[in-house]
A = this chain, B = another copy of it.
């Protein structure tokens, strides 16, 4: 790319790179539009993820990040996030990470999950979840998710195993 059309050429090149990264990158094509993988996930939420209010802020095959506001109706008696809410948030992140990584046509299901709870997350604050892969195998993937409070404190650490499901036949 050089000369008077260098700028247009570079733009075109960039588009082709983005299109190539379509299936596994963090940018996806939606009709003529390019959108981030996170935007796509937010546009097609799981019913339960919508109920809880999970918002993805980043998604690529090696890192998924999301936020969740600890609404009063998601708390225990003590005005802190219920442990089940934290596990739900993390499970969504780990399963999403696996989905983002897998080739089209494959699916996944969580077969086991382990959580250590380290700190309370107060009501009306926003917690952040960061999921990264530990292992990407043919049969299983293992993802680990850190749940952090608004002040960056580690609230929970979750490790989960995702079974990779291949189409039959």
User: Which residue numbers of A lie inside 8 Å of B, CB to CB?
Assistant: 46-52, 72-77, 82-85, 87-92, 95, 109-118, 134-135, 137, 139-140, 142, 144, 154, 157, 159, 161, 163
- Chain B min CB distance to A87 (Å): 4
How many copies, total? 4
Interface centre among A72, A135, A137 (most CB of B within 10 A): A135
Verify A73–B88 contact, CB threshold 8 A: no
Interface centre among A48, A75, A161 (most CB of B within 10 A): A48
Verify B46–A76 contact, CB threshold 8 A: yes
- Chain B min CB distance to A76 (Å): 5
Residues of B within 8 A of A91 (CB): 82-84, 87
Q: Known contacts being A84-B48, A87-B84, A88-B88, is A142 close to B113, with CB within 8 Å?
A: no
- Chain B min CB distance to A134 (Å): 6
- Chain B min CB distance to A163 (Å): 7
CA distance A52 to B157 in the complex (A): 23
